[in-house]
A = this chain, B = another copy of it.
Amino acid sequence: MTSQELFENIKKKKSFLCVGLDTDINKIPRHLLDTTDPIFAFNKQIIDATHDVTVAYKPNLAFYESLGVNGWNSLEKTVNYIKYNHPDIFIIADAKRGDIGNTSAMYAKAFFDHMEFDSVTVAPYMGEDSVKPFLTHVDKWVILLALTSNKGAFDFQFMEENNEKLYEKVIKTSAQWGTEENLMYVVGATKAEMLADIRKLIPNHFLLVPGVGAQGGSLEEVAKNGMNNKCGLLVNSSRGIIYASDAEDFAAKARENAIAVQQDMEKLLKVHGLI
């Protein structure tokens, strides 16, 4: 998928919402446990209920891996279901991978060839040769961790050398490895005030912004500081949408919450003159 195609979808749906599929067998409604694949049954209903207001889905790999072979099977079915029924939706493998070259190449194969993800989140610690193997797949994207939304972000990401923080160095250095057509960045919404500075470094790249809602970030602040002339934002919500209810009405409630976020996003897209 190109950035223009993503932007067209954002304009069509009046939304830059990414729904995080952090599907936890212990949190999904009890009645689904009688189905043959509860995780996929849950995801399918969430997707059916939210696809028209959502431009991206982001399965969080840990939740699937914790169930072993069965979880991996549910993941593959979920990706196939989205790709077949909603080919315009951008799918993110939230995997935080990154290893020496031949190993990263294998991860890229897992997510881009074996499965049909459009993108994968990658950790930058091991540098260029750990990231590049993901960038050689046509129409596929790396979403590199820059500034994360968690408390631990302050442990290392703000380390400073020559007035440059580690997360800034990660952005500046890695921007040379890829292009605006195959590289996005994770920037946590809890650090929205830093988005404006990050936009000076990378005015055109798309940013994946987690941490709105449950983690406390403000959508308005994110748009104010991070939106560009192609929107340039995918804002993720996981728990606030998929766990809106733990009863049989979970999908309807997820839809209600997704629509509420979409309507806020529509206003912000209008304010910024994009629709």
Contact = CB atoms under 8 A, between A and B. Distances in A.
Contacts of A275: none
A98 to B, nearest CB: 6
Copy tally for this chain in the complex stands at 2
A169 interface: yes
Nearest to A170: B156
Interface in A141-158: 145, 148-157
Contact of A166 (B62, B129, B156): B156
Nearest to A68: B114
A260 interface: no
A67 to B, nearest CB: 7
A10 B69 CA distance: 33
A94 B68 CA distance: 16
Contact of A153 (B22, B107, B126): B126
A161 B128 CA distance: 21
Given A123-B125, A125-B145, A60 B103 contact: yes
Nearest to A101: B150
6 smallest CB-CB distances across A and B, nearest first, come from: A127-B152, A127-B155, A62-B106, A65-B110, A66-B109, A129-B152
Interface of A: 22, 24, 60, 62-63, 65-69, 71-73, 76, 94, 96-104, 106-107, 109-110, 113-115, 123-131, 145, 148-157, 159-161, 166, 169-170, 173
